[in-house]
Amino acid sequence: AALLPRPARGLTDRLYCGRRVCYEVLGVSRQASKAEIARAYRQLARQYHPDRYRGEPAGGEGTAAQAAHEKFLLIAAAYETLKDEETRKDYDYMLDHPEEYYRHYYHYYSRRLAPKVDVTIVILVTVCAISVFQFFSWWSSYNEAINYLASVPKYRIQATEIARQQGLLNKTKEKGKNRRSKDEIREEEEEIIKDIIKNKIDIKGGYQKPKIYDILLFQILLAPFYWCKYIVWYCWWIYCFTIKGQEYGVEEKLYIIRRYMKMSQSQFDSLEDHQKETFLERQLWIRENYEVYKREQEEELKKKMAMDPRWKRYRRWMKNEGPGRLTFIDD
């Protein structure tokens, strides 16, 4: 019943100026320009503004002020309707086609409920905020990794030896006027050791040194370039290895192995060099060899889990009690 067409209602209380015609409220014609509409609105607003209204009270001072307030709201609604070209166009269409009730209702409330701020600006600000948070979060993780490596005796001793060979630690122990306290010397030596660790150790994975091109904003901006680059690379791959039948190089073999293992580039880069050499020695870029290697890894994992005391306790608990068994527990 709600979907059946309703009889033409013409003007309604819930749209625009209600039962009144907005042009008649402002005292202008339908052909009036924006300047004439604005002039009429200013005159009526000064006349019926609640703070300035000096009309004769019809039924008391409160009734006159209330009537002036309602009149002022009606004038403001008429001006809001007619000052915008798109809204005025929809309103003129409603006056000419009053039978299309649902269409007028939809257009009116879609404009009223539409966001006032441009969605593009909101998305841009959100992406920038995420990118800034992402960048500083990566820097925090990288500094945590450096601080941890500086506390490991193995890396700290190596960094200290390199600093002594380069004569960096001798500069911190100056005498005379430039002499500093022990705390200042200790802090400077700590910074020197951390700098050497940053330069000598290649940290990969989630704690690697952040790059500005890896944040979300630059990834979105450079997405067309990456897509074009991938298409060119894929065409080159098809041409070299499918059409011409060339043999795979080391990089191509590692790429195929990484795809088989379903690892990202950063995850694969975090692997040790001897692991990658093992992959190449076993020729894992060949699908059959990789399937054999995968089964071997699964069997080895099962053996480790079978020998693990924690895994044994878990299996015993699942067999004897399990998560769904009801038992009485003594205090």
Q: Per-domain residue ranges for the chain?
A: 22-113, 120-170+181-210, 247-319
Topology adopted by domain 22-113 = Helix Hairpins (1.10.287)
User: Among residues 191, 187, 185, 156, which one has the least CA distance to residue 170?
Assistant: 185
Confidence of residue 7 (pLDDT cuts 50, 70, 90): very low
What's the DSSP call for residue 242?
I
User: Among residues 259, 240, 254, which one has the least CA distance to residue 283?
Assistant: 254
One-letter amino acid for residue 130 of the chain = I
pLDDT of residue 214: 81
CA atoms within 13 A on the CB side of 172: 19
What percent of the chain is predicted at pLDDT more than 90?
15
Say whether pLDDT at 171 is over 80: no
pLDDT tens-place string over residues 220-272: 998 999 899 999 999 999 999 889 888 899 999 999 999 998 888 877 877 88
